[in-house]
Amino acid sequence: MAETPSLLQVSDISLSFGGVHALTDVSFSVNPGEIFSIIGPNGAGKTSMLNCISGRYQPNKGSIVFKQQELIGLRPNDRCTLGIGRTFQNLALFAHMTVLDNIMVGRHHLLKNNFLSGSLYWLGGARKEELTHRAEVENIIDFLEIAHIRKSIAGTLSYGLRKRVELARAVALRPDMILLDEPMAGMNLEEKEDMARYIIDLNEEWGMTVVMIEHDMGVVMDISHRVMVLDFGKKIASGLPDEVMAHPQVRKAYLGEDDEPSEPATESQLSGEVA
């Protein structure tokens, strides 16, 4: 039986800013249907890696293949069209627009009508297309339980709700793979539990492969299928969550311990040390 090819294959990616090496020869793969987490101390290169995948950064060397197509050299919007969605560590919503309009922005690459046909709103199919996309957006709003704020101005919302709206906009792309950069940062326990549930449902019910950066180690270990650890821009471990948690180099990077600890680190130890 033939092996299913990786959805994402990252090979020997290096990225430098002047004399600073953000990433050095990082390689990994993500399988279809996985929740794949990238963890590491602050400054380890995690967001730089997502930026290379999404097209915000062009690496100095290496290859990134998504669905058997090389991404290096493609523009960010071309990568969206291929099926890559993205949320950001720092919120990137249009603060003056409503929640509904922010999410509609996520459908832009799916719109078929151009300037000319769109000007014939009632005759050219633009109205029908808009109604179709609005129906899809309403489905996402219901899924993320934000119907009560659908007409609210995004900039007036609490931080936790804005994070949920940004997730909704990324989901509106209907991506095959969604990149989540610290989706639970700054949230309280209840908000984190809700976000973890949404991520699991996107993966299991909506069929989205998830690549996630997250500092809450309890969440990472609970919902991830596989985990990769970066430290100073280099991969130091990857594998199943329990294997990675017990890895000596991971303990050293997070806890400053010797290379040969007598006992594996606990979830609470790692969770408390990640900043």
**Average pLDDT, integer, range 199-215:** 96
**Average pLDDT, integer, range 101-130:** 61
pLDDT tens-digit series, residues 241-272: 999 988 888 888 776 655 544 444 444 444 43
The pLDDT assigned to 5 comes to: 86
Question: Do 124 and 225 reside in the same domain of the chain?
Answer: no
Map 83-134 to HEC letters.
CEEECCCCCCCCCCCEHHHHHHHCCHHHCCCCHHHHHCCCCCCHHHHHHHHH
The pLDDT assigned to 108 comes to: 65
**Average pLDDT, integer, range 191-219:** 95
Q: Choose the weakest-confidence range: 5-9, 87-91, 101-105, 270-274.
A: 270-274
Position 2 confidence tier, pLDDT thresholds 50, 70, 90: low
3 by DSSP, 3-state: which? coil
Q: Choose the weakest-confidence range: 108-117, 209-218, 252-261.
A: 108-117
Contact 59, 266 (CB under 8 A): no
Q: Is residue 246 part of a domain?
A: no
**Average pLDDT, integer, range 83-100:** 87
Q: DSSP character for 267?
A: H
Would you state the torsion angle of the CA atoms of residues 178, 43, 270, 30, taken in this order, to the nearest 10 degrees? 30
Question: Do 6 and 62 reside in the same domain of the chain?
Answer: yes
d(CA 222, CA 193): 11
Count of Cβ atoms closer than 10 Å to residue 148 Cβ = 10
Question: Do 1 and 79 reside in the same domain of the chain?
Answer: yes
Question: Do 182 and 61 reside in the same domain of the chain?
Answer: yes
Residue 46 reports pLDDT greater than 70:
yes
Q: Is residue 127 part of a domain?
A: yes
Q: Is residue 248 part of a domain?
A: no
**Average pLDDT, integer, range 66-81:** 94
The pLDDT assigned to 95 comes to: 87
The pLDDT assigned to 120 comes to: 45
pLDDT tens-digit series, residues 118-154: 444 444 455 666 777 788 899 999 999 999 999 999 9
- How is residue 108 written in tokens? 């832009």
Q: Give residue 41's domain range.
A: 1-83+175-241
Residue 17 reports pLDDT greater than 50:
yes
CATH number, position 204: 3.40.50.300
**Average pLDDT, integer, range 2-18:** 90
Amino acid at residue number 95: A
d(CA 63, CA 101): 35
Contact 153, 165 (CB under 8 A): no
82 by DSSP, 3-state: which? helix
Q: Is residue 255 part of a domain?
A: no
The pLDDT assigned to 257 comes to: 59
Largest separation between any pair of C-alpha atoms in the chain? 73
Q: What percent of the chain has pLDDT over 90?
A: 62
Residue 74 reports pLDDT greater than 70:
yes
**Average pLDDT, integer, range 100-120:** 64
Number of domains in the chain: 2
Amino acid at residue number 261: P
**Average pLDDT, integer, range 93-113:** 79
Beta partners for residue 85, in sequence order = 178
Contacts of 43 (CB under 8 A, 6+ apart): 232
d(CA 58, CA 74): 9
The pLDDT assigned to 268 comes to: 42
Question: Do 182 and 76 reside in the same domain of the chain?
Answer: yes
Q: Is residue 264 part of a domain?
A: no
Q: What is the mean pLDDT of the chain?
A: 85
